[in-house]
Amino acid sequence: MDILDTIGRAAQQGGILTLRRTDFAILNKTGLNDYLFLIWTALNELSERIGFDLPHMALKLFSELDYWNRVWIIQEFVVPGKIELICGSKLLCFDLFAAGIILLGYHKI
């Protein structure tokens, strides 16, 4: 949770949540417009700075918890509002969680 908070905050500040799916398809290509080039630069600098020593197995196990299949959890994601993830004593805003997961996926490209 702490690692995702750190990565998510940095990714959010880098502009990752403003990208569309089609933006990711062209992000590693030449000829980016100024906006995408700034985000591409920020994300690559972030990737180098953080290093991504994240234990991927721990993240995989976290995502496979039965918790995510509970009806009330699914309803919480469907109903608009502020979503916060709680794991033990840790709390993480869903936007930061999403930004961190997206950046990890981008890093794999």
Average pLDDT over residues 58-65: 74
pTM to 2 decimals?
Answer: 0.63
Closest CA relative to residue 5, chosen from 91, 63, 102: 91
Alpha-carbon span 48 to 63, nearest angstrom: 25
Residue 17 has a pLDDT of: 86
| pLDDT tens-digit series, residues 2-45 | 878 888 888 888 888 888 878 777 776 667 788 888 887 877 77
Domains: count for the chain: 1
Residue 40 tokens read as 């591409």
92 bridge partner residues:
85
Percentage of residues of the chain with pLDDT beyond 90: 0
pLDDT at 74: 72
What pLDDT, on a 0 to 100 scale, did the predictor assign at position 24? 72
- How many residues in total does the chain contain? 109
List the domain range (segments joined by +) for residue 44. 2-108
